[in-house]
Chain A
Amino acid sequence: MWAFPAVLTLHTAGMAVLVGASWVLDLRLLGLNRHVPLSSFRWVFPAVAIGLIVNLSTGIVLFMKNATTWGTSIPFLVKMTLVIASVAMLVPLRSLVLGGEAREVPDSARGLAIASILAWAGAVTVGRLLAYV
């Protein structure tokens, strides 16, 4: 009876690190502290990786508890789509951050930052609502 709450707590903490760190980078890409070089945001990616590993493993456990209902439920599939989209957006952002001392943010990255903020917000919202469907 301790396992489920512990897994859920880890899933929430992992979410906070994963989404929170992504948002901090997105805010920089949108112009907050624009004088700070993008290379100062290298720490975001190990943090995101840790959050992702924790949430993939705890997420699988949580899914197994509800596999029969969630496997075919639209909200769950929407959440998975949003998570995959959010993570996919981190890939080009990572090469931008690791790619040198750039301070200028290309317009495409600004659009990506907005999409990243919204996709993570959608994933968190739908994830939380899964408890009520």
Chain B
Amino acid sequence: MNVAHLHLLLNHVPTVGSVVALGLLLLALVRRDEGLKHAGLEVLFAIAVLTLPVYVSGVAAYRELREQPGMSELAVLLHQDAALAGFALTELAGFVAWVGLWQTRRRGRAAPGIVPVVVVLLTVSVAVMARAATLGGEIRHPEIRAAASSAAVAPDPDQFVVTAISTVAVYSTWLWPAAEAVHFLGLALVFGVLLAVNLRILGVAKQVAFADVHRLLPWGMLGFGANLITGMFFFIGQPGQYVGSSPFYLKIAFLMIAGGNFLYLTVLKRPWAADRPEPGLADKAMAVVSIVAWLGVLYGGRMLPFLGQAF
């Protein structure tokens, strides 16, 4: 199995998964079922986390495939632009879903606008993902190409968003360093917030209610959002620095663990009970996992220039 194979397996998560999440949320709206709404938002958050490896493994797959005969560069670019739009929409929907989950834990329910906004974003996202999936299939399956396939129109390669981002990343003298600086500021914010939350779970500052450290989580999300945007800028800008690099995959793997842990910290139920019980042993183990996962993300990222070839 290689990353190209991984892409073919994982690409069903955003395409099929988004339809499932949409179905759950629509059912929840019709039935006015808060539990179902919560489950739908959780599923969507998990899909948003898993869509990251789908995107990056796709770029890696392209790098392995492009040497083969019969590969259409334009078919790949068309797929990649549609995939980037789908990725951005899925992340946005995942972010709004997270806000809903955070509010639900604090006030018992999400703000009234959250689920409708998520449903609209997801509907657009499903349409875009369906297009991305079709264009992706056309790369290796000429038999499904329509007679007047969009790839046959032969558009100018320069009009693609991914190539435009890459051009800016390579030719701008200040944008890359500026994005690196933002990436490090975001990293410090994420670490500060998760240090406070995890230390509280491990028993530091016990007089503070868990609700009060939970209040910090949006600041961690802010740092993560800044890093997702700048990180994707690096990746799209210079994919060759990352796709052949073992620390990059280490970083993505640790990010998956960290993402799951962030969901757990958001919805964690026990310390919210009326008698405010201390977090249990499993919660403490999760706090350790969280710290280790974020250190792993940092290690993988910092090693990119040394074990890989990024700068």
A residues bordering B, Cβ < 8 Å? 4-5, 8-9, 12-13, 15-17, 19-24, 27, 32-33, 35-37, 40-43, 47, 120-121, 124-125, 127-129, 131-132
Q: Which of B184-235 contact A (CB under 8 A)?
A: 184-185, 187-193, 195-196, 199, 204-205, 207-208, 212, 215-216, 219
9 contacts between A and B (CB under 8 A): A5-B307, A16-B190, A16-B191, A16-B298, A19-B188, A22-B192, A24-B196, A36-B208, A36-B212
Q: Bound complex: CA of A60 vs CA of B288, how far in Å?
A: 30
B283 interfacial contact with A, CB 8 Å: no
Q: Bound complex: CA of A21 vs CA of B190, how far in Å?
A: 10
- Option from B177, B184, B205, B212 in Cβ contact (under 8 Å) with A132: B177
A15-B188, A47-B195 given; A33·B299 CB < 8 A:
no
B219 to chain A: which residues have CB within 8 Å?
27, 32
- The answer to whether A128 and B303 touch across the interface, beta carbons within 8 angstroms, is no
A121 to chain B: which residues have CB within 8 Å?
185
Q: Mark contacts of B274-302 with chain A using CB atoms, 8 A cut-off: 1 yes-contact digit, 0 otherwise.
A: 00000000000000000000010011001
- Option from B191, B295, B299 in Cβ contact (under 8 Å) with A20: B191
A9-B303, A19-B192, A20-B195 given; A128·B205 CB < 8 A:
no
A21-B195, A24-B193 given; A124·B302 CB < 8 A:
no
A21 to chain B: which residues have CB within 8 Å?
192, 195-196
Q: Mark contacts of B138-158 with chain A using CB atoms, 8 A cut-off: 1 yes-contact digit, 0 otherwise.
A: 000000000000000000000
Chain B interface SS verdict (over half) = helix
B34 interfacial contact with A, CB 8 Å: no
B295 to chain A: which residues have CB within 8 Å?
13
- The answer to whether B215 and A33 touch across the interface, beta carbons within 8 angstroms, is yes
- Option from A16, A37, A47, A125 in Cβ contact (under 8 Å) with B187: A16
Q: Bound complex: CA of A125 vs CA of B191, how far in Å?
A: 16
B305 to chain A: which residues have CB within 8 Å?
5
A9-B302, A40-B207 given; A128·B181 CB < 8 A:
yes
Q: Bound complex: CA of A102 vs CA of B90, how far in Å?
A: 44
Q: Bound complex: CA of A124 vs CA of B188, how far in Å?
A: 9
Q: Bound complex: CA of A120 vs CA of B208, how far in Å?
A: 26
